[in-house]
Structure formats: structure tokens, C-alpha cells
Amino acid sequence: LQRMLSIAVEVDRSPTCSSRKIADDIFLFILNIPLRSQREALLTTMESQLLRCRLLELLFDHSCDVPTTSSMSLDKILYFLSHSSVLPQFQDETATWQRWDEMLQYLSLLLMSYQSHFPLAEHLRSSLSDRMDLIVQKAKPRLQDSDDISHLDVQLKMSNFISRMQEALGQPLPPQIQEKLYMLQ
């Protein structure tokens, strides 16, 4: 399945458009996956970083009270950190801290997916054959303004997020969550 999805993203003249179409089509199926382990298995084994990034973006857009229309960027990831909540569909018998832990896991995965395809972001908008020409020409991708974030921005958003999580949990953060917060920051 993962190989087929990866190929499906690449066969179109625009991998970005393909990944958006595919993600839109399979997003509801991901929302209906009952177990965290199954959701994580699907998302972590995804071969197409572009498709994974788009699916996680949809997931976080869905979890925000006020979704943002900005394009994927580091600033948008900070927006998700500030505005997303634990998805109601994923609230089963697991403890509240485990649902927050899952959310942190997906934020980290989104950041890694975005960072891994960002250096080629401009190239990924091109077809596979055109992309090879751009790489051979050593064309540099353009930075987005929304990727220029400061350490202070990150610290403020993380502090706000930690306060929100501690309020929701009503107890000190478990070590697993503290470790994921540190890694994410």
C-alpha cells in the first residue's frame, strides 16, 4: 500500500497536487482507524514524505477550532501547537495523557516530514522528469517568509502549549511527554 501511494504521488505532473488529492481522499479513513498503534503504523511507514506531511496537516487542521488557510510552513506548525486539541475521534479508553502524547507524536512526525521535503519543496511541485533537470542545475529552493521563525516564537508557543496541557491533565507531565516536548522544541 505504501509503495502504491508513493507511486501515485509521483505519476502526476505535479506531486503536490497528487498528494493533496490522495490525502483528501484517504483522510476520513485515517479518522476512522480505531487504534493508535494502527494510525501510527500507517503514518510512520508512509514512503511519501509529501503525502505524510499533507495527511498530518489535514489532521491538525481538523483538530483546530479555527483552521488556518496558510500554506505548510514552520509558522503553521507553531499555529497547530497553539490551536490544536486532542481529536475527539481518538478519545477512547486511553488515559488523557496518552492522547496528548499521541498528538505530540504527530506534531513531531509533521515537523520531520516537512523538514525532510522542504529542501526539495520547490522541486516537488514539478514532475519527476522536470525535477531531475532542476537538481542537475542545482537550482536552490526559495525560502518562505513563514519559515523564518525565532527561538523566542518557539519558546513562547511551547510554554503556552505546556501550560494548556498541564491544565488539561491536572497533574505533572509524565516523563514520556516531557521527553517528546524536549525533542519537539
Q: What angle do CA 73, 41, 80 make, to 5 degrees?
A: 25
How far from 15 is each of 1, 45, 99, 146, CA to CA, in Å?
A: 18, 19, 32, 22
Q: Of 24, 67, 51, whose CA–CA distance to 114 is shortest?
A: 51
What distance in Å separates the CA atoms of residue 60 and residue 68, rounded to the nearest whole number? 10
At residue 70, the pLDDT reads 85
Neighbours of 143 (CB within 10 A): 12
Residue where the block lists cell 525560502:
143
At residue 142, the pLDDT reads 56
At residue 67, the pLDDT reads 79
At residue 48, the pLDDT reads 87
Burial 77-99 (b: 16+ CB within 10 A, else e): bbbbbebbebbeebeeeeeebbb
Q: Which residues pair with 84 in a beta bridge?
A: 64
pLDDT tens-digit profile, the chain (185 residues): 788 888 887 777 777 788 889 999 999 999 888 888 999 999 999 988 888 999 999 999 988 888 788 888 888 999 998 888 876 555 555 677 888 888 899 999 998 888 776 545 554 555 556 656 655 666 555 556 677 788 899 899 999 989 988 888 888 888 888 898 888 88
Q: Is the pTM of this model over 0.85?
A: no
DSSP state of 45: T
At residue 123, the pLDDT reads 47
